[in-house]
Homo-oligomer: A and B are copies of this chain.
Amino acid sequence: MTPPDDASFLREAIQLATASVAAGGGPFGAVIVRQGQVVGRGQNTVTRDCDPSAHAEVNAIRAAARTLARPHLDDCVLYTSCEPCPMCLATSLWAHIPRIVYAASHEEATRAGFDDTPIALTLYGAPSPAACTCLHHHPLPEAAQPFDAWLAKQDRVPY
């Protein structure tokens, strides 16, 4: 089994996030990795697909579960360009994903107009989950690129 290369897989998630903006989607990307291989990729397609559940992480989880032909991803890692929201975290927990690595913090997403704090407060009663030991922050300088691309896009569709 190949040892995890967090920075490399996170860069792929960030590239997907930046490419998503150019494609008319939201500035988020994610990959699911099993034994050193990407088995699912996702971009935020909420407005492109008219689907409020179509965050990058959920799309990547759906893709990986389809690839592996099973709904549980116990042996996989989720790499995501940004700290996952409550929906994406809960989906990851149902999928039994034991490790989630993210680049940008949710404070950085807020700068670009994406604030999931109201949802966290409604559900958690706090900005962060109570006891989610699977979450790991791996900061990278390029983590800001998707949000910069989003803010620079004149015809972006906010949601």
List the interface of chain A (C-beta within 8 A of B). Answer: 46-47, 50-53, 58, 61-62, 65-66, 68-73, 85-87, 89-91, 93-95, 118-119, 121-126, 129-132, 159
The quantity of this chain's copies bound in the complex is 2
The 7 sampled A-B contact pairs (Cβ below 8 Å) are A51-B65, A85-B90, A122-B130, A122-B131, A123-B132, A124-B125, A125-B130
- Give the nearest-CB partner of A66 in chain B: B50
Knowing A51-B62, A62-B51 are in contact, say whether A90-B86 is a contact too (CB < 8 A).
yes
Kindly state the separation between the CA atoms of A23 and B27 in the bound complex, as whole angstroms.
38
By a CB distance below 8 angstroms, the chain B residues around A72 are: 52, 159
Residue A53 contacts which of B61, B70, B159 (CB distance < 8 angstroms)? B61
